[in-house]
Amino acid sequence: MSVINPISGANLGLSSVSNLAQPGKAEGSKPLDPGKAAGSFIDAVNDLQEQAGAMQKSLYSDNPVELHRVMIAAEEAGTAMDLLLEVRNKLVEAYQELLRMPV
């Protein structure tokens, strides 16, 4: 069976989002603060949305932008937003489950 190799050189723009899932690897590093992690995750999603919007505006104003790059940026932004919403939904669901627990 052949092994699937990762695409080298692909920059999907989600590196800052994926780094949040890996708390400090170095010894003696501080644990990940959930508030800061959520804030940086939201900022990363916002940055992707802004980049996609800027690329779309460039395309509409007849600047030399490749259509496939605009579509990829839009899909990345949409996927990141979907992920953010799913994480939010799971957090709300977990909070509601805690409220239903007897004391």
Query: What angle separates helix 34-60 from helix 67-100, to the nearest 10 degrees?
Result: 150
- Both tokens of 18, joined, read 């994926």
| pLDDT bucket at 20, cuts 50 / 70 / 90 | very low
pTM score over 0.75: no
- pLDDT cut 70: percent of the chain above it: 73
Q: 62 pLDDT exceeds 60?
A: yes
Give the residue from 19, 11, 73, 10 showing the smallest Cα distance to 41. 19
